[in-house]
Amino acid sequence: MSKAQAKKPVPEPSPSSRKQRHPRLPTNQILLLHRVRTSTSFASAHVFPGGNLDDLHDGAVASPQDPAARHADGPAYRLAAVRECFEESGILLARGPHGRLVDVDPAVRDEGRRKVHRGEVKFGDWLKSVGATADVAPRPPRLHLPHPRHLLPAFLLFSVAPAHHPTAAIPWAEKIISPKVLKVRDDGYVVLGLHSPGAEVEAIQDNASGSPATPRGGLHDAAVVVNLKVKGGPWNLGVFSRQDALRSDDLGVAGASAKGGKL
């Protein structure tokens, strides 16, 4: 009789940050990057530029033992978002002494991307070399996606919770979303709710006395329908009303739609 293998410990989620690049005019455009087809995870997916924080470039964040501070917005998260956007897309969100976005020579920019990505130079030091400072000023609305961090963010700014649900009172700057499985269909599609901030954030207390924390959550009336059985990662992802996603078993299938549903 073979011995049962011990379960591997669940790794601590790495803090990550993503940049949403909006144009100055209200044209409802947003920057997404297209992952390569050969990627081992989320192949061909469209994602925000972003990734894990790096102590070398961005500075440290609070430890997992201090979850309230770890999930609080701060300079390290903002700098990581600017850096990852630069590394992955070449777009440099940094300003010069004149207060305007800097215009860096393409050859200098590309060399900087490579060196920063390889850790050969600190991002802040490279910015100084071109006379720039990262544009890390807060610009609401902001959206916190603690985990998982690659699946949903492109769709989250287009749905509003109904006024009767507690999540409706949470400002966009304070919304936290950790997708939660609501339903598993026989065809491989999964319905993910967007209302939960995740167990780690829910456990945060406002003070040492153990009083309930300030309400945290995301969007109650929206849900994601996605096929998780396709080789290469999530596929055919759509955002629908929560009611339609739970009621129908054909949403998400190619060609299917819902009344006022898919965003």
What's the rounded Cα separation, in Å, for the pair 48 and 68? 25
* Domain around 241: 153-247
- Rounded (10°) CA dihedral 6, 199, 244, 261: -110
Does residue 8 fall inside a structural domain? no
Q: Are both 243 and 161 inside the same structural domain?
A: yes
76 and 36 in a common domain: yes
Does residue 162 share a domain with residue 83?
A: no
Do the Cβ atoms of 94 and 113 come closer than 8 Å?
Answer: no
> Do 221 and 185 lie in a common domain?
yes
Q: Each residue of 216-238: pLDDT tens digit?
A: 888 888 888 988 887 766 778 78
Q: How far apart are CA 171 and CA 149, in angstroms?
A: 20
pLDDT band for 212, please (50, 70, 90 cuts): low
pLDDT tens string 125-163: 999 999 999 988 765 444 444 444 333 332 333 333 455
Based on the fold, state whether residues 20 and 76 are members of the same structural domain: yes
Instruction: Examine the domain organization and report whether 64 and 115 are in the same domain.
Output: yes
Give the tens place of pLDDT for each residue, 89-131: 898 989 999 888 898 999 999 999 999 999 999 999 999 999 9
Among candidate residues 64, 99, 134, the one where a domain is terminated: 134
Same domain, 20 and 127: yes
Is residue 115 in a domain? yes
Domain count for the chain: 2
| Nearest CA among 48, 92, 73, 213 for reference residue 140 | 73
More confident residue, 215 or 198: 198
CATH number of the domain bearing residue 100: 3.90.79.10
Are 189 and 119 in a shared domain?
no
Integer Cα distance of 67 and 122 in angstroms: 27
Q: Is 262 domain-assigned?
A: no
What single string gives the DSSP state of each residue in 139-174? -S---B--SS-SSSGGGGGG----TTSGGGGS-GGG
- 78 and 172 inside one domain: no
Residues 67, 100: one domain? yes
Last residue of a domain, one of 100, 134, 168: 134
Are the C-beta atoms of 161 and 175 separated by less than 8 Å?
A: no
- Between CA 68 and CA 78, with CA 74 as vertex, the angle to 5 degrees is 135
Beta partners for 240?
223
pLDDT, one tens digit per residue, over 67-92 is 778 877 788 888 988 899 899 989 89
Q: Which two tokens stand for residue 117?
A: 């990505």
Q: Is the pLDDT of residue 21 over 70?
A: no
Question: Do residue 68 and residue 117 come from a single domain?
Answer: yes
Instruction: Answer whether residue 144 is part of any domain.
Output: no
Kindly state whether residue 47 falls inside one of the protein's structural domains: yes
Asked whether residue 123 falls in the same domain as residue 20, the answer is yes
Q: Tell me if 256 is assigned to some domain.
A: no
Q: Which of 134, 167, 199 is the last residue of a domain?
A: 134
Does residue 148 lie in a domain region? no
User: Measured in whole angstroms, how far is the alpha carbon of residue 237 from the centre of its chain?
Assistant: 16
Residue 206 within a domain: yes
The full length of the chain comes to: 263
